[in-house]
Amino acid sequence: MTLFHLFYSCIAAAALAGAFILIIHMNRRRIRQQPPGGNWTAILKRNLPMFEHLTGEQRTRLYGMMHLFLARKKFEGCGGQEITEEIKVTIAAQACLLLIGHKTKAYPRLKTILVYPHAYQSGQKGLFGGDNGQSARLGESWNSGVVVLAWDSVLGGARNILDGHNVTLHEFAHQLDQEDGAADGAPILAQRTAYVDWARVFRQEYTELVDKTRRGRKSTLDRYGATNPAEFFAVATETFFEKPHQLKSRHPELYAELQDYYRLDPGNWQEP
C-alpha cells in the first residue's frame, strides 16, 4: 500500500467512526425526546412524592433519562416477583433522579435489574464487604452490571422522602461510583481538579462518622456509612436527597460537594 492509499484509508476510517458516533448520539436524543408513558405521571405522583417538587425542566429531563434507562435495561423478577409497569417506572425514576442534573447517558455499565418481592438471602460476597455466607439483603450493586432490589423496600423508600433511607438511591449511587471501575466512594467528576476537594471533604467527613459511630454518637448520616468510603458516598447520597436541610446546616462542605456533583439542590424540594 502506498502512503497515498494509507492516508485515504485513515480518513475513511475516521469518517466512518464519526458517522457511527453521530448515529448513536442522534438515536439517544430521539429516545430521550419521546413523551412520558401514559401511566408514568400517575405512578410517580402515587409513589414518589419528590416528583411533585421538581421543576418543569427537571421533569422533562427525568422523563428523557427514564426513556433511555427503560430502553436499555432488562428487568427480571426473582422469588416469584412479577415485573409490572409500576415496578419499572418507580425504579427507573429514582435511578434517573440522580442523573437529571449532570448526565446524558443512563448507567452505561448497567445491564440488568433483579427484583425480589421482599428482603432476600444472598450468598454473594458483597462488593462492599458483604458476608461470605447467606445474609438478608434489601439491595445490592454489582460491578458486573447488575442491581438487585427488594420491591417492598423500593416502594417504602420512595414514598417516605424524609427518613434519609432510600435503597434505590443507595444502590444507584454505588453504580455511579463503579463507573470508573473502582468502588472507592469517588465517582467520575466533571473536572480533574475537583478530585482534590472531593477527597479532602469526603475523607474528613468519613473519618468523623467512623469516630462518632465508634463512640455511639448520632449523626445526620446513617452509621452504615461508616462501613467504608463506598458506603459513605451511597449513604451521603440518600441523606442529600432526603434530609437536605439537615445535611446542609450540619455538613455544609459535604452538601456543597454533592450539590456540585449532582448539579441539583434538593433543599428546593422540601420545606426547611
In the complex, residue closest to Zn ion by CB: 234
Q: Please report how close the Cβ of residue 159 comes to Zn ion at its closest, in angstroms.
A: 21
> Which residue, 83 or 127, is less far from Zn ion as judged by CB?
127
Our separate counts of H helices and E strands in the chain read 10, 6
Q: How far, in Å, CA of 161 to CA of 166, rounded?
A: 8
Options 4-12, 213-221, 225-233, 264-272: segment touching Zn ion (CB under 5 A): 225-233
CA–CA dist 242, 194 (Å, integer): 25
Return d(Cα 53, Cα 179) in angstroms, integer. 29
Q: How far is the CB of 145 from Zn ion (least distance, A)?
A: 17
Q: Provide, rounded to whole angstroms, the least separation between the CB of residue 168 and Zn ion.
A: 12
| Cβ distance to Zn ion smaller for residue 222 or 231 | 231
Closest separation in Å from C-beta 217 to Zn ion: 22
Phi, psi for residue 145 in degrees, rounded to 5: 95, 30
* CA-CA-CA-CA torsion sign (62, 55, 253, 243): negative
**Under rule CB under 5 A, residue 234 binds Zn ion:** yes
Stretch that binds Zn ion, among 148-156, 201-209, 233-241, 245-253 (CB under 5 A): 233-241
Stretch that binds Zn ion, among 31-39, 179-187, 224-232, 254-262 (CB under 5 A): 224-232
Position 226 contacts Zn ion (CB under 5 A) = no
Distance (Å, rounded) from C-alpha 59 to C-alpha 62?
5
**Cα distance between residue 58 and residue 102, in whole Å:** 11
C-alpha cell, 61: 429531563
Stretch that binds Zn ion, among 47-55, 65-73, 177-185, 231-239 (CB under 5 A): 231-239
Residue 268 Cβ vs Zn ion, minimum distance, rounded to whole Å: 27
> In whole angstroms, how close is the CB of 137 to Zn ion at the nearest point?
10
Cβ closest to Zn ion, residue 140 vs residue 257: 140
Span interacting with Zn ion, options 26-34, 85-93, 197-205, 232-240, rule CB under 5 A: 232-240
Chain centroid to CA 53? 19
C-beta closer to Zn ion: residue 205 or 231: 231
Measured from the CB of residue 148, what is the shortest distance to Zn ion in angstroms?
11
Stretch touching Zn ion by CB under 5 A, among 155-163, 201-209, 230-238, 245-253:
230-238
Question: Is 63 or 107 the residue whose CB approaches Zn ion more closely?
Answer: 107
Look up residue 133 and give its three cell numbers.
455466607
Residue number, 66 or 147, with CB nearest to Zn ion: 147
Site for Zn ion (CB under 5 A): how many residues? 2
- Single out the residue of 127, 131, 129 nearest to residue 141, CA to CA: 127
Please check whether residue 129 is in contact with residue 165, taking contact to mean a CB–CB distance below 8 angstroms: no
Under the rule (CB under 5 A), what is the footprint of Zn ion?
231, 234
